Structure 1
Amino acid sequence: YLNNMYKQNIPELESARTYGILGIILQFVGTGANILTNGLGFIISIIGLILLFLSLKSISNYYGNQKPFKYMLYSLISGIVLGTISAIVIILLLLPVAFTTTTGPPNAISRISVSAIGMIFLTLFLVVMAVLVSVIFEYLAYNSVYELTGIDDFHTGALLLLIGVIFTVILVGIILILIGIILLIISFNKLPTEAKPVVIDQDAAQNQGDGMI
């Protein structure tokens, strides 16, 4: 009974629950809105991402372990860096094709067609790699939350999200992503009541108190 009571009313985890649930929902809505609108979906996704960072920062601070926040930060940085590199590589490869189209001989059209096919596969490869690396760090972030809180759904949801991204080219991948998102929402909802409390080293606390006397 005392153990269950001790798990209740943890302000850091209560705010983490709110930020986490809203963040995941907004990111999901923003991704869908990107298909229908220009710019609005991106703004919604950014707001969701900020809320997720606030959630993981609250969890990291409460447990005194910055792994969740750092891994999520690595996910963002790797996505931006690899995405930028991919865009630069694609532009550099497109320039010779554009130049050949405008100044090259007529028989260059067939070579351009071959190059275009190669460009499509290269573009897909670069995009998939950028997304995959980012999602791997995101998986590590949620998995570290599982290790700190003991809530299994964080591990399962993050794993399904990772596998879903890998198989996103087929329908089953999209289904796994949706299930993973739902499990992560459920995980954040469990935070204030089912997460493991911080373990206080009584001996260390006693020694610190004796030293202050």
Structure 2
Amino acid sequence: MGVDIKSEKTLGLVGSVLAIVGGFTGVIPYVGVFMGTVSLVGAILVLVALKGIGDKVGDDRPFKYYLYSIVVAFVGSVIAVIFIVVGALSLSNATIAGMRAFEHPWGIFGTGMLIFGFLAFIAVLILGVYFAKQAWEAMYEITGVDEFQSTAKWLWWGALTAIILVGFILLLVAAVYQIIGFANLPEELETATPANVAP
């Protein structure tokens, strides 16, 4: 028996568009705060869409993994930013003292904090994307929409290569596939059988 997911399809599509627009324009000075909020609203709309689809087909994996991804990205990014800010302030203390970074205890501490903050950011990105990848792979299994599998693949490769910047292009490709996936989502889905429901 089919279930109607028309509203979830619309929410997911609108949310995916907002997320990509907000995410990739959020670096623009003075616009970044507003667009960051737009991106967050988009992610929440996608989360609501995945929750609705999961409830209707009896498989909560997409919602659960996507929620993990958002929580990890948010909490981890805050922690990474704290380390980076502490590192930058410590380096400025060394500069005020008129010494090179490695000649002053604050400079050594600050450099360490900056490196740790950067590594923490990369680790958070990879972990968050891992959970998002799991969500889109589950969506592919539930819906049969190939673009969701492509989203998972490009997300993963984008996260792994983000350190050399080409990864951000691959993350953009993944975001486009996500939009196409929701656009190609059927308006009705068959309910999940016990065999493909996560324990």
TM-score (norm 1): 0.75
- The 1-side partners of 2:6 and 2:91 are apart by 55
Which of residues 118, 124, 148 is equivalent to 1:130? Answer: 124
Larger Rg: 1
Identity %: 28
Equivalent residues in 2 for 1:79-158, closer than 5 Å: 79-94=73-88, 96-102=90-96, 104=97, 106-107=98-99, 109-111=101-103, 118-158=112-152
Structure 2: segments with no counterpart, 5+ residues: 195-199
Q: CA deviation at 1:111?
A: 2.5
What does residue 43 of structure 2 align with? 49
> Per-residue displacement from partner, 1:182-202 (whole Å, max 9, x unpaired)?
222222122225x7511578x
- The 2-side partners of 1:168 and 1:97 are apart by 26
Are the structure 2 counterparts of residues 98 and 181 from structure 1 closer, same or farther at C-alpha, using a change threshold of 3 Å? closer
Q: Which 10-residue stretch deviates more, 140-149 or 165-174?
A: 165-174
Q: Which 10-residue stretch deviates more, 163-172 or 58-67?
A: 163-172
Which structure: greater helix fraction?
1
8 Å CA contact 1:59–1:145 kept in 2: the answer is no
Residue 198, structure 1, aligned to residue 191, structure 2: yes
Q: CA deviation at 1:31?
A: 1.7
Structure 1: segments with no counterpart, 5+ residues: 1-5, 202-213
What does residue 21 of structure 1 align with? 13
Give aligned pairs, total.
190
Equivalent residues in 2 for 1:173-192, closer than 5 Å: 173-192=167-186
Q: Which 10-residue stretch deviates more, 126-135 or 31-40?
A: 31-40
TM-score (norm 2): 0.79
8 Å CA contact 1:150–1:196 kept in 2: the answer is no
What does residue 162 of structure 1 align with? 156
- The 2-side partners of 1:182 and 1:51 are apart by 16
SS at match of 2:191: coil
Are the structure 2 counterparts of residues 179 and 132 from structure 1 closer, same or farther at C-alpha, using a change threshold of 3 Å? same
